[in-house]
Amino acid sequence: MKSFTDNAGRLWTLAVNVAAIKRVRAICDVDLNSIVELDAKNNPTAKLLERLSTDPVLLVDVLYAVCKPEADSKNISDEEFGAAMAGDAVDHATSALLDEIIDFFPEAKRRAFQKILSATRRFESLARKKMESLLADGKFEDKLVSELERLTGLSASAPESAE
């Protein structure tokens, strides 16, 4: 079982099993069993993975549904759970959830899903490194300011009005 810590310092343990998948279906109308599917040409598609990665509200709802028995025992509502989920906590919870979903499947599917997730994580790592490199470049802010000046017609170097 994987775990993560929310921004309130609470430790949550994820257990993706049949009961959790049923709970997520009932609460979120999301089928974790279809995290990766095959299209008409037998190519893997990750529409659910894409939805979860682009919709943090849905992601946190799914996390809450998976953690609901634990949340109930801690008297934590979905609102309180969501209030403690932002930034790095969401990132860590996402990784734990995806690993736990993959571990749910039998070996053959699990290996295929692990390869897909590994490729996705490599891509994310490359994108993060590219962004860090871009932000570290001193010219980035100059280009950004120049573009904003062009779009707004305002100059960042002009003194503010006394009005």
Q: Are 81 and 40 in contact (CB under 8 A)?
A: no
| In the chain, where the domains are located | 2-152
pTM attached to this predicted model: 0.72
Cβ atoms of residues 79 and 34 within 8 Å: no
Question: What confidence score (pLDDT) does residue 160 get?
Answer: 58
pLDDT confidence of residue 69: 97
Give the model's confidence band at 162: pLDDT under 50 very low, under 70 low, under 90 confident, else very high: low
| Helices marked H in 29-87 | 47-54, 56-73, 78-83
CB under 8 Å to 114, separation ≥6 — which residues? 102
Would you state the pLDDT for residue 97?
A: 93
User: Is residue 129 pLDDT above 60, yes or no?
Assistant: yes
For 5-19, how does the pLDDT look when each residue is reduced to its tens digit (9 = 90+)?
999 999 999 999 999
**Per residue in 17-29, pLDDT tens?**
999 999 999 999 9
